[in-house]
Structure 1
Amino acid sequence: MTKIVFVGAGAMAEAIINGLTKGNKISPEFIHVTNKSDVSQLNYLKETYDVQIVCEQKKAITEANIIFLAMKPKDANDALNSLAPYINKDATIISVIAGISIQTILNSLGNRPIARVMPNTSAAVGMSASAICWNELISDGSKLLIIDLLESIGSVKVVAEEDLHVVTALSGSGPAYFYYFAEQFESAAIKYGLEKGDARQLFIQTMEGAAQMLKNGDAEPEELRRRVTSPGGTTEAGLEQLMAHKVNEAIFACIQAAQNRSRELGKLFES
């Protein structure tokens, strides 16, 4: 049976654990979790998902088939150096650390199978948009296993490693952008008379419906927008304000800043 160890127990680790256990891909008894010092978080994961808390990290790492690196980028250097002597040579490393390259991980852990994954926190409800890349030491069988595991938390797209920076900006950070828009639309709706619960329900259904229309793939976003926008109508009036406030430029700047930060994090680690 595959034994998985999560090194790091934060929001992303929890989201993946939630998806894996809900999807019944891996029994909780084969999922082990450790972190730097937050015992209360480990106890929470144990109580919530019935996973195993790692008290003896070295032993767990030695016996692991798959190791998820899920610590914060600032903690990665110390963590990798401390783990390196104990990792099974046949273990597959799956990193969800933003910005840190496969080569950088190889420099710390030696030549071994390594995959980099950028999921998002929607993994907790089985709706992650995950992108993955790997080095040449990942076998075809391991690729299928990793994709199968990740599909229990959402969709998976194989990409070139260089593209993970923009993936991080788009889908890795994307849920936060969506929640920010939800905050603003709700606030505006409440200001102009709607109850909070009604505003939220209408916003959620609107976004779900629009996403489904886009997912059906019969038209580009621009065409779908045009279908909603009658000349001289309410939608046109609203869109004119979005354009006047240069929301498009703000979105480009948002994605640029996030991917730039992803690159910076990698360089900080390498230095």
Structure 2
Amino acid sequence: MSGIRTLIQKKVAFYGAGSMAEAIARGLISRGVLSPSSITMMNRSNRERLQELENKYGVITARETAAKEDVLQTTDVIILSMKPKDAAEALRYLGPLLSPGQLVVSVIAGMTIETMQTLLGKKHPVVRTMPNTSSTIGLGATGIAFSEEVSDEDQHLVRTLFEAVGIVTIVDESTIETLTGISGSGPAYIYYMMEAMMEAGVRGGLSSEQARDLTVQTVLGAARMVQQTGESPQDLRKKVTSPNGSTEAAIGVLAKGHFKETVHAAVDRCAERSREMGNALKEEIN
């Protein structure tokens, strides 16, 4: 815990106060990494949202222009968490306010390091991350890519920040869209399958509560089996798939529906869409 506690002395500002910002802030607070008074949250104009976050977590909020500028000029770490459509304007505004000692960290899908530095108007130290919303319970998975200007000390800082809410993988920026397709958007795929399993359970005569409880425990148990046994999903699947049994029959239906190919296509399309969003931001700048 000693490595994590060093972050308590840092000030972190979330520039954008949506669901991802809340997930990370909540994780940092609930795990004792940062005190609520070390976190400032701001958005473009939604005061009710800021009041909600202040009431729930005790964080500081900046609502007036002067207060926002003061935070952006003095905070140690600025986490860019606004909607992609608002990012260009926000970064142009932020650039002149920054001093060399500040670190800019982005959780915006599709926005490249090059684009961020272009919008800032300088080769400022920038970190591109792709977390997921499981960060809110300390089980997030975050991919991180650093610009060459980021110091070793700041790299350690960012790792510690996101390790507080899950696991961290340092990647080359060229692979971060693929990572987005796996872990960034991945929870939604699992939720979608859980929806289908619950619906099937209710159709088969279970109550909604029974179908939910059984599905949740099944998914949790399967993940834990892979994590704790060290065995591959393929090997574990084979162990529970008896020849001519009911599980084999079910897997056969999934295979006939091109289940794996569909998942591959979903991951590829997610990565592709992330690139499209990044290219759209570049075109907007030009």
- TM normalised by structure 2 equals 0.92
Q: Does the CA-based 8 Å contact 1:127-1:155 persist in structure 2?
A: yes
Provide the C-alpha distance between the structure 2 equivalents of 1:66 and 1:148, rounded to a whole number of angstroms: 13
1:135 maps to which residue? 147
Cα deviation, 1:37-61, whole Å, max 9, x if unaligned, reads 1111111110011111113211110
Question: What's the CA shift for 1:249?
Answer: 1.8
Match of 1:258 among 250, 258, 270: 270
1:87 aligns with 2:98: yes
Identity across matched positions, percent: 38
1:52 maps to which residue? 60
Match of 2:279 among 264, 267, 270: 267
What are structure 1's unaligned runs of at least 5 residues? none
1:30 aligns with 2:38: yes
Residues 4-19 of structure 1: matches in 2 within 5 Å? 4-19=12-27
SS of equivalent residue, structure 1 residue 131: strand
Question: What's the CA shift for 1:223?
Answer: 1.4
1:192 maps to which residue? 204
1:116 aligns with 2:128: yes
Q: Which amino acid aligns with 1:141?
A: E
Question: What's the CA shift for 1:210?
Answer: 1.1
SS of equivalent residue, structure 1 residue 189: helix
Provide the C-alpha distance between the structure 2 equivalents of 1:16 and 1:196, rounded to a whole number of angstroms: 31
Provide the C-alpha distance between the structure 1 equivalents of 2:244 and 2:54, rounded to a whole number of angstroms: 57
Provide the C-alpha distance between the structure 1 equivalents of 2:178 and 2:230, rounded to a whole number of angstroms: 26
Provide the C-alpha distance between the structure 1 equivalents of 2:226 and 2:75, rounded to a whole number of angstroms: 41
2:114 maps to which residue? 103
Residues 153-172 of structure 1: matches in 2 within 5 Å? 153-172=165-184
Provide the C-alpha distance between the structure 1 equivalents of 2:157 and 2:264, rounded to a whole number of angstroms: 35
1:247 maps to which residue? 259
Question: What's the CA shift for 1:217?
Answer: 5.0
SS of equivalent residue, structure 1 residue 24: coil
Cα deviation, 1:178-208, whole Å, max 9, x if unaligned, reads 1111111000011001111111111111111
1:72 aligns with 2:76: no
Question: What's the CA shift for 1:216?
Answer: 2.7
Cα deviation, 1:45-81, whole Å, max 9, x if unaligned, reads 1001111111321111000110000011111111111
Provide the C-alpha distance between the structure 2 equivalents of 1:138 and 1:25, rounded to a whole number of angstroms: 22
Q: Does the CA-based 8 Å contact 1:61-1:88 persist in structure 2?
A: no
Provide the C-alpha distance between the structure 1 equivalents of 2:229 and 2:16, rounded to a whole number of angstroms: 38
Question: What's the CA shift for 1:88?
Answer: 2.2
Match of 1:212 among 189, 212, 224: 224
Count of aligned residue pairs for this structure pair: 271
Provide the C-alpha distance between the structure 1 equivalents of 2:46 and 2:182, rounded to a whole number of angstroms: 30
Q: Does the CA-based 8 Å contact 1:16-1:153 persist in structure 2?
A: yes
Provide the C-alpha distance between the structure 1 equivalents of 2:89 and 2:71, rounded to a whole number of angstroms: 18
Provide the C-alpha distance between the structure 1 equivalents of 2:244 and 2:100, rounded to a whole number of angstroms: 66
